[in-house]
Amino acid sequence: MELTDRAIDRIIEMAWEDRTPFDAITLQFGLKEEEVIKLMRREMKPSSFRLWRARVQGRKTKHTKKRDFDKGRFKCTRQKPISMNKISKRNK
C-alpha cells in the first residue's frame, strides 16, 4: 500500500501521541506496530527515532491490551470526534 505524504505525517503524529494506541493506527492505516516502527525509522532522524522508541517502549497507553482503562479518560473535552481518520463536523 502506497501512503501519501499527508498519511505519513498523520501516522507519525499519532505514533508520538502518548495515548493513541498502535491499534488505532492499524485500524485507520492498516499498519501493524512493526510497520509503524519501520516507517518512523525511515522518516525520522536517527536521534529523534531513538527518543521516540525510548518513549513508547513498554508504555501502557500505546498498547490497548496493557491499558488499565477502556475508553473516555484519554479524550480531551475540547477534542473533535474522529471517525476513521475524518474529523466530524460539529452541529451548531
Residue 91: pLDDT above 50?
no
The torsion angle over the Cα atoms of residues 9, 34, 65 and 12, rounded to 10 degrees, is: -10
Place of cell 493513541: 20
At 85 the three-state DSSP class reads coil
Over its C-alpha atoms, the chain yields an Rg (Å, rounded) of: 14
| pLDDT tens readout for residues 23-43 | 889 999 999 999 999 999 999
| pLDDT tens readout for residues 39-74 | 999 999 999 999 999 988 877 667 655 555 555 445
Residue of higher predicted confidence among 86 and 16: 16
Residue 39 and residue 48: Cα distance in Å, rounded? 13
Q: Which of these, 76, 60, 79, lies nearest to 68 by C-alpha position?
A: 60
Prediction pTM value: 0.66
